[in-house]
Structure 1
Amino acid sequence: MSSAEPSVTALGQRFPGAARGLAALRARRLDERFPLLVDSAGAVLLLALSIGSHQRVHPQQWELLLQAALVLPLALRRRRPVQVFAAVAATAFVQWSISWWLHIAVGPADLAVLVALYTVAARRSFRWTVAAFAVTELGVLLAVYRWPPVLSERPQYETAMRVVFLLSGLVTAAVVLGRNVRARQAKLAALHQRARELERQRDQQSALAVAGERSRIAREMHDIVTHNLSVMVALADGAVYANQHAPEKATAAMRQSAETGRQALTDMRRFLGVLRDDEPDALRHPQPGLGQLAALAAQVRAAGLACELRLAGEHGHVSPGAQLTVYRLVQESLTNTLKHAAPGARAVVAVDCSPAAVRVEVRDDGRPLRRAAADPLGAGHGLAGMRDRAAAYGGELTAGPLPGGGWRVAATLDLDLPAPAEEAPS
């Protein structure tokens, strides 16, 4: 089984019409795969049938040449429909002219005119079809003008009318059949094209979904690992400094560092569990939200950064995805303050919840000694991820230095927008 067959099967479940069109195109007949060979064999068979049904046992050589000239061009009828019809019609006119004096009877070879007309109707535009139909009807009139004296003993007018109706019906049937086949082929080609476009769109959507999921995973892992490692590094540095002067503080700092590491492992296990349907921890450990901001502020304070949390408004109506976004924005902002602000900095986190929006602001008063060099505005992965999170809820994140010193990060999330699929909790 080829790799494309499962996609076609999935496509057929969503678009039955396109699947039927593909099935019809796959089930091509032999004459569609080898048109020249099949048409040549058909022309030879029709020529043999015409010669075998000849009235005379030994027909004249010019009669055989005339029948061959009528039938053999049909071998190229699909490649050159108009040219083949012109050649067959001209030969039929020559036959009619000769039969005026020699009284040559009509044979199976004359069916080549109808076959050529059908091919023009099936493979050329409506203008060419009308022109071929007019030429064939003219041939019908010429044939009727020639045949009545030998076809019947009834009055010539009645015989002519019957023959006109009969031959015109055959000509019309050839044209209608050809146009129907042309319409069916056009419909199948359109279905085939639509199926290819749908498959291409599905592949593009899958690629975009994969890229979005990779970006989300990278963003979450960056927030979890960077924040917790920054806190652990700060605690470890404080423990080394206080080890000789205040061993009890060093012990407390190391215990806090271990607790932060365990929290990091729990966060990673929780996040990876959300990605797996068979992970029960994903249900027991929900994603962090506004309720965990106090614990986050306490963790940062333990690492040596004075942090004040101001939470205003009710947040029960805020979706889990929006709460997670606010939590990550605050977490990343405090992590940047820990990494880049000078010692003694102080941070203030303000979250204001209203029925239609959530406003979050994180500012510090520390001197940005290394911030501009390490993570300029828009250059670091942290700020880029924060912008992506805010944009998912229709917000625009602003980050930059304050006039009096320090750094400010602010964003507003629109709660009226539908929750992004990537932020929705599992």
Structure 2
Amino acid sequence: MVVYVTLAVLMGWLSLEPPHVTPLWPMVALGVGGIAVLAGRHRYPRIAFAGAMVLPVLSLVGGSSAESLLAVVAVYSAGVRCNARTAWLSFTIAMACGAIGALAFTARGSLLPPILGLAPRMVPGGTSLDWVNLYSVIAMVLLIATLLGTNRGHRQRHIRELVDRAERLARERDQQAETARILERERIAREMHDVIAHSLTVMIAISDGAHAAADERPDEAKKAIARVAETGRRTLGEVRRLLGSVRVDQGAPTHAPQPDASQLTSLVTEFAAAGLPVRLVVTGAPSVDPALGLTVYRIVQESLTNVLRHARRVTSATVIVTWLTDAVTIVVRDLSSSVALSSNTGRGILGMRERVALYDGVIEAGPHEDGGWRVFARLQREDG
């Protein structure tokens, strides 16, 4: 804006130096129009561009020619703000207007101002060579302005794209971290439920048996209390391991590894000690995948815990684990005369469904047609 106003005043003053033929009011009107174009080029870019194309032509016809700077600013701004196609379209329009303006300027007879101390001379009509020379200068200036504008615009758009990409990657990283935290909390909650619910159920069952045998069979009661203490210590160790996995300030945990399918015999023995006779049948070659082994162990553990907690008058339970080449099936069935599951079974069944879903499996849990409760699960394996 300041550069244009300074140039317009200087060119207007030089055009008014005697002898002159250029009136004052057209230069004032063109100057006001040029200021309006520059002031509104950001808010009204299309209108400003149209004004920047028309005013230079009018200025070359009957003004000081200072408004030619508006066309240079217009093509430069188009290169900065718009894409390459729009920028070169603006350049083409400016070249057409420049051709008209150069033709009008060379056709009119005007007094050239004495710029840089040069003596004024008359241009009576002009020739084709004058038009070619003037248009060549206009074309060169417009081309340079367009190239500078497109180069700067491309650089700015590239920087904005890099910034947007960095922000998008940062958001995706934060979302992935939050998702990982949620999944980890779900995993820990599932593990805590399996460990604590199973252990408390076993401890309660053993304690009830010890209380019933305390008067008549004190030795058996003492053994039962010892098993309660052993179960409690083992549960405390597993809880510490689970909590230690989320403690980042005390180094890696040193507790025992998570159970797998090879410990099903110990699990069945523990339930038998709690008063639930369990028959275990395992066929096939077990998987070497520790995660799959843990899933099988937790499904059997949760199913037997539900039997011990909810079933009434249980005579026995059967666990059948069949390892196939591409899958593993689990069947847990109790032979109780009746089953009374609570209306709110907590996270037990939901936890089993979530574990099975990780292996594209299916699970069914419900009363069996011959009585009792039956849990059937099938999980896909990839190491077979």
TM-score (norm 1): 0.75
2:75 and 2:94 in contact (8 A); partners too? yes
Q: CA RMSD in A?
A: 3.2
**Unpaired stretches in structure 2, ≥5 consecutive residues:** 112-120
Q: Which residue of 1 aligns with 2:304?
A: 334
Say which SS state the counterpart of residue 371 (structure 1) adopts: coil
Distance 1:301 1:173 in 2: 91
Distance of 1:306 and 1:358 partners within structure 2: 24
Equivalent in 100, 109, 128 of residue 138 of structure 1: 100
Aligned pair partner of 1:310 in 275, 278, 281: 281
SS of residue in 2 equivalent to 1:282: coil
In the other structure, the counterpart of 1:163 is 134
Residues 242 and 388 (structure 1), Cα distance of their counterparts in 2 relative to 1, 3 Å cut: same
Superposition map of 1:222-371 within 5 A? 222-276=193-247, 282-315=253-286, 317-371=287-341
| C-alpha distance in structure 2 between counterparts of 1:414 and 1:90, whole Å | 75
Quote the offset at 1:129 in angstroms: 5.7
Q: Is the 8 A contact 1:346 1:364 kept in 2?
A: yes
The C-alpha deviation readout for 1:138-169, integer Å capped at 9, x for no partner, is 3233334448996899x944443233222112
Residue in structure 1 matched with residue 69 of structure 2 by the alignment = 111
Measure how far apart 1:84 and its partner are.
2.2
CA contact (8 A) 2:75 2:90 kept: no
Question: Deviation per CA, 1:76-133, whole angstroms, max 9, x where unpaired?
Answer: 222222322333443333333336xxxx6x4x44322321333345446726664444
Q: Which residue of 1 aligns with 2:371?
A: 405
Aligned CA distance change for structure 1 residues 136 and 366 (closer, same or farther; 3 Å): farther
Instruction: Map 1:2-41; keep pairs closer than 5 Å.
Output: 40-41=1-2
Q: Distance in 2 between matches of 1:151 and 1:304?
A: 122
Q: Which residue of 2 aligns with 1:29?
A: none
Partner residue in 2 for 1:178: 149
The letter for the 2-side match of 1:220 is: E
Q: 1:110 to 1:278 in 2, by over 3 A?
A: closer
Aligned-partner residue type, residue 170 of structure 1: V
Q: Which amino acid aligns with 2:214?
A: N
Provide the C-alpha distance between the structure 2 equivalents of 1:58 and 1:253, rounded to a whole number of angstroms: 124
Letter in 2 for 1:314: A
What do residues 7-52 of structure 1 show as CA deviations (whole Å, max 9, x unaligned)?
Answer: xxxxxxxxxxxxxxxxxxxxxxxxxxxxxxxxx4454444455457
1:235/1:257 contact within 8 Å kept: yes
Q: Measured at CA, do residues 193 and 349 of structure 1 come closer, stay the same or move farther in structure 2, by a change above 3 Å? A: same
Quick one: which amino acid aligns to residue 386 of structure 1?
A: M
Identity in percent: 35
> Which deviates more, 122-131 or 345-354?
122-131
1:397 partner SS: strand
Shift in CA distance, 119/53, structure 1 to aligned 2, threshold 3 Å: farther
What letter corresponds to residue 259 of structure 1 in structure 2? E
**The one of 65, 68, 75 aligned to 2:39:** 75
Given that residues 330 and 349 in structure 1 are in contact (C-alpha distance below 8 angstroms), is that contact kept between their aligned partners in structure 2? yes
Separation in structure 2 between the aligned mates of residue 58 and residue 266 of structure 1, nearest angstrom:
106
Q: Secondary structure at the match of 2:136?
A: helix
Gap runs ≥5 in structure 1: 1-39, 418-426
Higher helix share: 1
In structure 1, distance between residues paired with 2:13 and 2:178:
65
Larger deviation: 339-348 or 236-245? 339-348
**Which has more radius of gyration?**
2
Q: Find the aligned partners of 1:213 and 1:128 in 2 and give their Cα distance.
A: 57
Q: Which moved more, 1:218-227 or 1:345-354?
A: 345-354
- Equivalenced residues, count: 366
What is aligned with 2:380? 414
User: Alignment partner of 2:333: what SS?
Assistant: strand
Aligned residue among 374, 393, 407 for 2:359 = 393
Residue 218 of structure 1 and its aligned partner are, at CA, apart by: 0.6
Instruction: Render the CA deviation track for 1:48-82: whole Å, top value 9, x for unaligned.
Output: 55457667399974365145235412122222223
Q: Give the AA of the match of 1:346.
A: S
Instruction: Please tell me the residue identity of whatever aligns with 2:143.
Output: T
Q: Is the 8 A contact 1:235 1:254 kept in 2?
A: yes
Alpha-carbon spacing, 1:213–1:402, altered in 2? closer, same or farther (3 Å)? same
